[in-house]
């Protein structure tokens, strides 16, 4: 993949905004009045998280976890570790994990096991995008924005080699296979 590749739009900012509204309505039905703890996975989820929390019109709390999985390239290293973990206890909390992309599922499977040990009252997943064709670890996405094809995407917080996070739309970097 060349860094010279021109990004081409897959999901427009308007489509993303509509998905965020839909997800926040679904999440609100479940979590209103429960003061859930939303845990974003850094760095990719930061833009999605910012839009999602502003669309949720009830009290909640926000936490971030930084995991290492992908290196600087495209393929998952297959091994996940916590680079920066929880800063407060989650025992008894209603936890909603917020992720940008579920690809192989290795990152989230690891995180779910890690969080379950801390005994939250409930634990669910919200993902903006899902690439089911690449799944290696089975998991349930409770709140999903979009299913996307197996192509490398960037923008709306999602990077390639730390680049393109600023793009307001979600774009393809690669030509169609």
Q: Annotated active-site positions, please?
A: 103
Among 16, 65, 102, 115, binds ligand IMP (CB under 6 A): 102
Largest CA distance in the chain: 48
Phi and psi torsions of 146, nearest 5°: -140, 145
| Other residues' Cβ atoms within 10 Å of the Cβ of residue 6 | 7
Q: At what angle do helices 46-55 and 13-31 cross, to 10 degrees?
A: 60
Cβ nearer to Mg ion, comparing 4 with 140: 140
Distance CA 167, CA 97 (A): 23
Q: Which of residues 111-170 bind ligand IMP (CB under 6 A)?
A: 152-154, 158
CA atoms within 13 A on the CB side of 9: 9
The count of chain residues that interact with ligand IMP, using the rule CB under 6 A, is 17
Among 36, 44, 155, 157, binds ligand IMP (CB under 6 A): 44
In the structure encoding, which two tokens stand for residue 122, read together? 């409930």
State in angstroms the smallest separation of the CB of 41 from Mg ion: 5
Distance CA 154, CA 162 (A): 10
Among 94, 107, 115, 167, binds ligand IMP (CB under 6 A): 107
State in angstroms the smallest separation of the CB of 148 from ligand IMP: 8
- Interaction pattern, residues 45-74, with ligand IMP; x per rule: CB under 6 A: ------------------------xx----
**Which residues of this protein are in contact with ligand IMP, per CB under 6 A?**
44, 69-70, 76, 99-107, 152-154, 158
């Amino acid at each position: 993949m060349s860094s010279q590749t021109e990004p081409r739009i897959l999901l427009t900012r308007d489509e993303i905004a509509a998905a965020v509204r839909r997800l926040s309505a679904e999440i609100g039905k479940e979590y209103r009045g429960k003061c859930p703890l939303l845990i974003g996975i850094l760095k990719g989820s930061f833009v999605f998280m910012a839009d999602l929390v502003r669309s949720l019109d009830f009290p909640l709390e926000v936490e971030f976890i930084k995991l290492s999985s992908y290196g600087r390239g495209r393929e998952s290293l297959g091994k996940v570790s916590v680079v920066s973990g929880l800063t407060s206890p989650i025992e008894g909390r209603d936890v909603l994990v917020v992720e940008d992309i579920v690809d192989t599922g290795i990152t989230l499977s690891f995180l779910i096991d890690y969080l379950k040990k801390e005994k939250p009252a409930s634990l669910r997943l919200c993902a903006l995008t899902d690439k089911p064709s690449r799944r290696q670890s089975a998991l349930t996405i409770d709140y999903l924005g979009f299913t996307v094809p197996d192509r490398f995407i960037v923008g709306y917080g999602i990077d390639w080699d730390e680049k393109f996070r600023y793009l307001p739309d979600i774009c393809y970097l690669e030509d169609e296979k």
